[in-house]
Chains A and B, each alone.
Chain A
Amino acid sequence: MIKGKRKPLEEIKSSIDAFNNILIVGCGGCVSVCLAGGQKETNTLKADLNMLYKQDKIRKGLKTFTIERQCNVQFLAELDEIVQEYDCLISMACGAGVQYLAERFGQKPVFPAINTDAIGVDRGVGIYEEQCRACGECVLAYTGGICPVTRCAKGLFNGPCGGTNKGMCEVDNDVPCAWHDIYERLKEQNRLDCILNIQTPMQWQNQVQRTIVQEPYESRYRQNRHSTS
């Protein structure tokens, strides 16, 4: 799931200083699970901002509302009537949710309260680890389920480099070398032949905005495109 972390309070405050009636919009999806932008966190942010404004003796109308997912238009529609009362919105969703919210309510300024950090796993409550950079060209099949794009400091497809040192990376002695781990994993599975062939360079796909269409639905969207053109 997507992992994020709340922005520093001062940064959030500075973005809304010019507005009086502010709606903090939470998201019930990924950011709820990583304890960054769910209903509980919207309440915390509201309380924190209220405290700061109280210290400055400024009165602000801060309200919270959490929808199930900010990346789905069906759930965003729930806000249609509510947002009219507010001067601006704070989104506690990931970057995708913030943009979808801003697109739907183009007349209202929308400010992010979360820094979207990673696609990651839950190592425990409140501790998450990045595992995927959504590069669009997954190589986990031949790297023993260890992502060199995420874990190798150089993002090498044919590693390790000369900087590997007793299983650690040259950039930091506390960082394990991804390619050392890949080698060990494949050796354990008796699949070392997977990394003997030189892999072709990554065709980086994340330079432009991507749209993902699943194969069974391709004809549907192709038809739509033709009918609208």
Chain B
Amino acid sequence: MIEEQTAAVDITFIRDMLEKNKGKMKLSLRVCAHCSLCAESCFLFNAYNNDPKYMPSYKFIHSIGTLYKKKGKVDRSMLEEISINIWKRCVLCTRCYCPFGIDIPSMIALARSICRSQGVFPRYD
């Protein structure tokens, strides 16, 4: 387990995962107009005094968007940073609403899968 947490990030593996989902991911990132309408549908955004970091769009842009922009070239600390947006700020209740039809939960789930593949995931002990 400790090995998993300290091993070098497998960039090729991340790239493969991104490549497999490229179509949907690219379209989602392009379509987002930053209209912030998704914000109101997030109960965490409301619970945390409308903190913009809890906006669903922020969470998916600062997770899968970052991974896509960097073409998977990320280090462990960056994955840890991303993990805050996709785990601590999102419970994946899948209730977020996008007027353009972006499937934000699936984008966040993809980011989680990428983090998990590199041994970055929440610890409850």
Binding site for B on A (CB under 8 A): 28, 32-35, 38-40, 43-44, 66-69, 72, 74-75, 78, 125-126
Chain A at the B interface: mostly helix, strand, loop or mixed?
Answer: mixed
Are B1 and A28 in contact, with the CB atoms below 8 A? no
Are B122 and A75 in contact, with the CB atoms below 8 A? no
Are A75 and B109 in contact, with the CB atoms below 8 A? yes
Are B121 and A38 in contact, with the CB atoms below 8 A? yes
Are A33 and B124 in contact, with the CB atoms below 8 A? yes
Q: Residue B116 at the A interface, CB < 8 A?
A: yes
Q: How far does the Cβ of A31 sit from chain B's closest Cβ, in whole Å?
A: 10
Report B33-64 residues with CB < 8 Å from chain A CB. none
> A34-B124, A39-B116 are known contacts; what are 16 more A-B pairs with Cβ within 8 Å?
A28-B112, A28-B121, A32-B124, A35-B124, A40-B121, A40-B123, A40-B125, A43-B4, A44-B1, A72-B94, A74-B94, A74-B106, A74-B109, A75-B109, A125-B125, A126-B125
CA distance A33 to B123 in the complex (A): 8
Residue of A38, A67, A68 contacting most chain B CB atoms (<10 Å): A68
Residue of B4, B109, B123 contacting most chain A CB atoms (<10 Å): B109
